[in-house]
Amino acid sequence: MAACVAARARRRVGLRQTAAVTVLVIGSTSEVGAEVARLLLAHGIAVRAMRRRPGAPVPAGAEPVDGDLRDPASLAAAFADVERVFLISSPAREQVELETNAIEVAERTGVSHVVKISNLPIDGLDTGLHGNHRAIERRLAGSTVGSTVLQPSFFASVLARQVAGLRRGRLVLPTGDGSVAWIDPRDIAAVAAAVLADPAPAAGPLRLTGAEALTADALAARLAAVLGRPVELVQPPLDRWAAALVDHGMDPWLVDSTVHLYRAVARGALAGVSPDAERVLGRPPRPIDEWVRDRLLPQLDA
């Protein structure tokens, strides 16, 4: 009876019954990585949670292991006897080197499958952060290790960076009239967990978007409706906005990547809606209203 209940639970969240595996979650202290670990653990899958800072908390039930993608020698214990790997890292200039270190260790240790968080490809955008992800995707495609690349649109959690402004009733989003199919990070994690648990994981890429694309104006109106307070959209010139970010300490390389991305959004590059998340999860992706209510509103009221 317990086995039947567990199997039904797996089906409800898109996880299929699979042989016993151990999944290494790289980036287990990140929002998406922690949720991937939690979902896998909830369905009886062993998780080894890698952390860069010794002593950093990991999801309850996971086996903590210390490792740093900058130091390949430190990864040996993390990858020992692991069948599958979840790979996410922070946006940084050296991201290609860091994730390649993980892929090379996976090849040496006999890992069977890697699930990598990437981003949606945009024609003509092959430098900066997008160039990093395309290079890592090419490296995985040529690897002896199986892989699934998840290519999400804008994370809804990007809005959490604007808590201070939203408390004053302002949303700053210089994307012109372009639309974005925002996706809830919990859905990204749910797709990743489903692939990692699948006995025959899909070969990527999977394009992950929300169910609807919203202009910045429409997003501001949606925020106002859910938050119960007026929200004014502010769209400063991109060059002035970028200079302000650099003045506040953001890496100019990442600022430049974001400027190119926002210009592409304004041209309509991320207006498409993909069925991939619903196909994997067996349900539509969550509307952005749900993330705003569950995650953003408590921060605004804190």
Task: Split the chain (302 residues) into runs of 10 and give each run's mean pLDDT.
Answer: 35 50 95 97 97 94 97 95 96 96 97 97 94 97 97 96 96 97 98 96 92 98 96 96 95 96 96 97 97 95 84
Q: Could you tell me if residue 141 is inside a domain?
A: yes
Q: Could you tell me if residue 127 is inside a domain?
A: yes
Q: Could you tell me if residue 106 is inside a domain?
A: yes
Find out whether 94 and 101 touch, Cβ atoms under 8 Å.
Answer: no
Q: Could you tell me if residue 245 is inside a domain?
A: no
Per-residue pLDDT, 10: 41
Burial level of 273, CB count in 10 A (0-12/13-18/19+)? middle
> What CATH number is given to the structural domain containing 14?
3.40.50.720
Q: Could you tell me if residue 202 is inside a domain?
A: yes
C-alpha separations of 30 from 127, 145, 259 in Å: 25, 24, 24
Per-residue pLDDT, 13: 45
Per-residue pLDDT, 157: 95
Per-residue pLDDT, 16: 54
| Distance in angstroms (rounded) separating the CA atoms of residues 98 and 270 | 27
Residue-number span of the structural domain to which 61 is assigned: 2-155+184-210+272-285
| Distance in angstroms (rounded) separating the CA atoms of residues 28 and 63 | 11
Per-residue pLDDT, 21: 84
Q: Could you tell me if residue 278 is inside a domain?
A: yes
3-class DSSP state for residue 255? helix
Q: Could you tell me if residue 267 is inside a domain?
A: no
Q: What's the number of domains the chain is made of?
A: 1
Per-residue pLDDT, 297: 94
Q: Could you tell me if residue 25 is inside a domain?
A: yes
Gyration radius of the chain's alpha carbons = 19
- For 7, the token pair is 């199997």
